[in-house]
Amino acid sequence: MNVIKKNLYYSSEKKVNPYYFDGEVTIREIYNESSSNDQEVYFVEFSRGALTTIHFHETEQFLVPLYGNGVIGEIDINTSSSLLGFNFENLIIKSLDVGEIVSIKPNILHFHGGCPGQNFSHVAFRKMYETAPAPAPAPAKTERVHTQTIWGYEMISKALGSEDQSQILSELNRISEKIRDAVIRWAKDNNL
């Protein structure tokens, strides 16, 4: 049989990278390269208002909220400023409600997770590969390229031109604190 059946709640728990999340999170890897030809799928549980740190994906991501009240924020950094200097003028925050399906286009800087103090869970999936033109001299051919998720930690390291972990984490924590404060204000304004 070519059908691969998995269970959200009993799939393998994946170790959480603390640089990618702000708060307590449990991740279950449903599908990956060993069980899917094209998709990665995760079941993510955010405890007490935990959030992802800022990040973007090279392919479109879909979120399917399953439980609780969630939030998603899109950050539009003006092309003249860097990640280190942005000030949330162009921060858009929206709710993630059970029954909705959210599409996040490629290369959009964003975060998502639970509303302040609340538990929230969603399924996240995206394509692991995309087709790109093959390098010269054969431009008419294409090749399959593994796509990435680029996290704030890596973006900050690049912006600083440094691999000094304490300096990178200091900036990441500063940005995460701004995000938490903005989400708290948004939740109060929306009675959540």
What CATH class has 13-189? Answer: mainly beta
C-beta separation of 53 from 64 below 8 A:
no
Domain boundaries, the chain: 13-189
Give the residue ranges of the chain where pLDDT is below 50: 79-80
End-to-end CA, the chain? 46
Task: State the average pLDDT for the chain.
Answer: 89
* Listed residue (34, 39, 45) closest to 67, CA to CA: 45
In this prediction, residue 84 carries a pLDDT of: 72
The rounded distance, in Å, linking the Cα atoms of 42 and 12 is 10
In this prediction, residue 180 carries a pLDDT of: 94
In this prediction, residue 80 carries a pLDDT of: 41
State the residue for tokens 């031109």.
161
Query: Cis (ω within 30 of 0) for the bond into 137?
Result: yes
